Structure 1
Amino acid sequence: MSLVTVEEVNNALRLDLEADVGGDLSGDGGEETGRLDDIELKIAQAEAIVLGFIQPAPDPAWTHDTVPKEVSAAIVIAVRCLLDDTEESMAILSGLSGITGFDARNPIAALLWRRRDPSFA
């Protein structure tokens, strides 16, 4: 189960996915779901990126109901970055690699920094 839903990403990023899948965001409507599949993939990728930045990993693992709001916000921002595929968006994501120091201008890092234990990072 995802930490954020397609519906939450659709609403936050104003993607208008209902128009692509005939109003059914579950993908069960028999309509073309290529874009919906891409969004679901981007959500999974964004969750992996965000959870990879948080150290140590949450134990027990979060669910959709227990994920902290700043973490779900960071996941939505990461989805936007993956969809945008611009130099600026890629810089935001690469800033989570740990190769460079903390950049307070990085919105994802700023949201997640307090959930990162430097001794684990």
Structure 2
Amino acid sequence: MTVEELRDYCLSKPATTESFPFDETTLVFKVAGKVFALLDIDGRPMSVNLKCDPERAVELRELHAAIQPAFHMNKRHWNSVTSNGSLRDSLIRELIDHSYERVVAGLPKAVRASLADA
């Protein structure tokens, strides 16, 4: 998966915004103001930090060398996913979906309802 493909996929999610709040190389995707993905646009290979259920995070790390605890993030809830050719694009998209859904689930009920209506 390329940076452009990952960006397009993240932006296809309802109410998603993108910005560079930290520096010029870390692209941050948010839903309703809450981060669900951080993408290093200069990284070779490409790497993205995604939120994950803690139990699933451990399982993924055990199964895939390209999935590690996220640098500068809560390692219990965030994984760094490296697109080095060892992971299927479909798995990366699934992990983006999971991250987005985890963040949406933590939003206030009224905000979740407005997203469902979008």
TM-score range, shorter chain: 0.3 to 0.5
The TM-score normalised by the length of structure 1 is 0.37
Greater relative contact order, per chain length (Cα 8 Å cut-off, separation 6+): 1
The TM-score normalised by the length of structure 2 is 0.38
| Greater strand share, structure number | 2
| Greater helix share, structure number | 1
